């Protein structure tokens, strides 16, 4: 497997200051991100995701360990390794007095992209910014500013694109447009690394997921394999009319009732509690219901299971 990014025993310690105690943000993190993958990097707030990204971007210096980006060691090839990555940070950082076209042209110049090789109009069109190409950035909506941040990260055609919470504050239509373009980039060979709190996005888009917690790797696998590790499913029964309490036979089985008295739910492990037995108990309760559904495990279930402390 060829690695786009490889971290080995990565440690980052923020030194003690007058306002804060010493903090270990990364504790021996070892992680390989395959070239050409759609890779999700997940974790609760404070897990170390941003620290890891800042090290890749050259904004933070690691305390110890080794990081290789597209075959280049970040210590031996600091400048060139940074050119291999396009990073879209959480914070929107744009000059309000530049137009999107001017911003992309300036950014391309900073990366040394010759004028004949610049893709300004192509990138603006791909991200739905063509009609705002000559408007001041301060006049753009929040979603368009977010897309401009993505555009800036692409001006030097990096083989690796890192998206740190890229859809925060972006409406549904713009989010779908952004993901369509990211998928297209990935199909063209770009490695995409995504951090997000929208776990359904990671589940839908990514082929591999890493979860870090308290600076350490706690899970790494394909989405199907991670979901297979969660054994439980959830049966939801929609009642025909509200009830004050469930029958004793359902309470004994483990059913719970929602606050409105209209939904009875049961979390169960199919290997331990087969469905035919559950249905017999439900039938014996003689509880009128109009529908039922079974919810399979989600990436959120995996996330909660491996990050709880």
**Domain edge (last residue) among 202, 227, 252:** 227
Q: How high is the mean pLDDT in each 10-residue block of the chain (309 residues)?
A: 92 85 91 96 92 92 95 94 92 89 94 94 91 92 88 94 84 82 93 92 93 94 89 91 94 94 92 91 92 89 84
Phi and psi for 137 in degrees, rounded to 5?
A: -60, -30
Q: What is the pLDDT of residue 309?
A: 62
Phi first, then psi: what are they for 170, rounded to 5°? -100, 135
Find all residues with CB under 8 Å of 30, minimum gap 6, and list them: 7, 8, 9, 10, 217
Q: Do residue 206 and residue 278 come from a single domain? A: no
**Do residues 192 and 274 share a domain?**
no
Q: What is the pLDDT of residue 221?
A: 94
Q: What is the pLDDT of residue 1?
A: 64
pLDDT of residue 21: 82
Give the pLDDT of residue 4: 96
pTM for the model: 0.83
Residues 57 and 102 reside in one and the same domain: yes
Beta strand residue intervals within the chain, DSSP E: 3-14, 23-34, 38-42, 64-69, 72-73, 85-88, 160-164, 191-195, 208-213, 216-222, 233-239, 256-257, 263-268, 289-295
Please report the pLDDT score of residue 125 as a whole number: 92
> In this structure, are 198 and 295 located in the same domain?
no
* Pair (169, 157) in one structural domain: yes
Longest dimension (CA), the chain: 76
Write out the residue range of the structural domain in which residue 13 sits: 3-227
How many helices (H) and strands (E) would you count in the chain? 11, 14
């Amino acid at each position: 497997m060829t690695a786009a990014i490889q971290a080995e025993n990565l440690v980052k310690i923020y030194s003690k200051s007058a306002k804060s105690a010493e903090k270990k943000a990364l504790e021996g993190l070892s992680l390989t991100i395959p070239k050409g993958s759609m890779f999700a990097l997940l974790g609760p707030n404070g897990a170390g995701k941003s620290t890891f990204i800042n090290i890749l971007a050259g904004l933070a210096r690691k305390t110890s360990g080794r990081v290789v980006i597209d075959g280049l060691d970040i210590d031996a090839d600091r400048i060139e390794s940074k050119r291999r990555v396009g990073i879209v940070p959480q914070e929107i950082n744009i000059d309000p007095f530049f137009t999107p076209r001017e911003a992309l042209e300036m950014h391309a110049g900073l990366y040394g992209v010759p004028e004949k090789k610049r893709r300004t109009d192509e990138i603006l069109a791909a991200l739905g910014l063509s009609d705002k190409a000559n408007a001041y950035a301060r006049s753009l909506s929040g979603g368009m500013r977010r897309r401009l941040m993505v555009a800036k990260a692409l001006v030097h055609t990096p083989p690796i694109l890192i998206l740190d919470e890229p859809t925060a504050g972006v409406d549904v239509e713009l989010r779908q447009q952004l993901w369509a373009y990211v998928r297209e980039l990935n199909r063209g060979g770009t490695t995409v690394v995504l951090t997000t709190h929208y776990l359904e996005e990671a589940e839908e888009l990514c082929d591999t997921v890493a979860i870090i917690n308290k600076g350490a790797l706690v899970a790494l696998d394909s989405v199907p394999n991670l979901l297979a590790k969660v054994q439980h499913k959830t049966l939801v029964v929609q009642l025909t009319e509200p009830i004050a309490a469930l029958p004793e036979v359902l309470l004994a089985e483990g059913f719970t009732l929602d606050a409105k008295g209209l939904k009875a739910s049961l979390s169960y492990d199919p290997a331990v509690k087969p469905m035919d037995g559950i249905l017999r108990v439900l039938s014996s309760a003689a509880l009128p219901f109009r529908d039922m559904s079974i919810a399979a495990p989600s990436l959120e279930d995996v996330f909660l299971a491996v990050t709880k402390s």
